Amino acid sequence: MGQVTTKQVMKMFDLDLISGEEGIGRHIPISDISRPGLEMAGYFTHYPANRVQLLGKTELSFFAMLTPKERSDRMMKLCTDDTPAIIVSHGVPVPEELIAASSNRHVPVMTTPMSTTRFSSLLTNFLESKLAPTTAIHGVLVDIYGVGVLLTGKSGVGKSETALELVKKGHRLVADDCVEIHQEGENTLVGSAPKLIEHLLEIRGVGIIDIMTLFGASAVRTFKRISLVIDLEIWDQDKTYDRLGLEEEKMKIIDTDLTKLTIPVRPGRNLSVIIEVAAMNYRLKRMGVNAAEEFSNRLNEVIAQDTN
């Protein structure tokens, strides 16, 4: 899981820092945002102090109705050692009590001209993407007909060479050798390349090549949702490979199960064409067209007729 600091949020959304600059390096542990309406009314029993606190017109208009002692007390309770930041939306002036409390507790207070709902949505999306569970896998990620295909297999099996052939056919490279994967939602895995090797492909005997320079910007993508895993392995004569496609193997990455195909590699097999067909067949299955099941049904009908 990644880390996000208040300073990153301030730079990302061009927020104005009002007070509490000593705490600008505080970490934001979760993507949830709190609208402390009940806290303004004095109820702090279940106060989520470790969330970013977002104050809008509703909270501050109620706050203005409180007595001076109540205002000071509420803001001191709002600013804790665990509070990563307090943000005031709509460009509303920050109450003096909040400035005093934030300076005392070193809690950053910032403002934004955006509406509360708009800013809350943007900040939540930003935090979810940065704090999403993350892993890295040795493989190649390619966008084939809109399907994110992750090629895996032992080193030297031909993943990069196959990816190069796919790029020549008009498909797009996302990452080679190391694929960084983020779980951005339920059953949603997004893969990208580390900045160091972005757009680069390693071909044994040739070296490292820049795909964007050779084939243009249309040959690469910055990120892609992963839908299908294809494992390349050297052909094993003693192993029985799936010839119908009725059984669907799964591979678990983080908390998501992905469809996995195992394709044996040996001289004479055109891997790029096979992988293209696998991606198209995957799309057809998701659209309700399953050739393997249709063939099985036909076979069962023929067998039933012969037995009768």
93 to 25, 135, 173, 278: CA distances (angstroms):
24, 42, 48, 58
Q: Any catalytic annotation for residue 106?
A: no
User: Is residue 169 a known part of a binding site?
Assistant: no
Out of 51, 71, 74, 159, pick the active-site residue. Answer: 159
Q: Confirm whether residue 25 is marked as ligand binding.
A: no
91 annotated to bind ligand: no
Phi-psi group of 73: left, alpha or beta (phi > 0 → left; psi -120 to 50 → alpha; rest → beta): alpha
Active-site annotation holder among 46, 69, 239, 243: 243
Catalytic position from the list 11, 27, 57, 138: 138
Whether 195 is a known active-site residue: answer: no
Does 158 belong to an annotated binding site? Answer: yes
Residue environment code for 93-110, b if the CB has 16+ CB neighbours within 10 A, otherwise e: ebbebbeebbbebbbbbb
Whether 73 sits among the annotated catalytic residues: the reply is no
Catalytic hit among 177, 225, 260, 285 = 177
Among this protein's residues, is 143 annotated catalytic?
no
> Which residue type occupies 305?
Q
- Residue position matching structure tokens 């309770």: 77
- Output the six-digit token pair for 3: 């880390």
Task: Please tell me whether 272 is known to bind a ligand.
Answer: no
154 is in an annotated binding site: yes
Residues tagged in the binding site annotation for Mg(2+)? 160, 202
Residues tagged in the binding site annotation for ATP? 153-160
| Residues with active-site annotation | 138, 159, 177, 243
Residues tagged in the binding site annotation? 153-160, 202
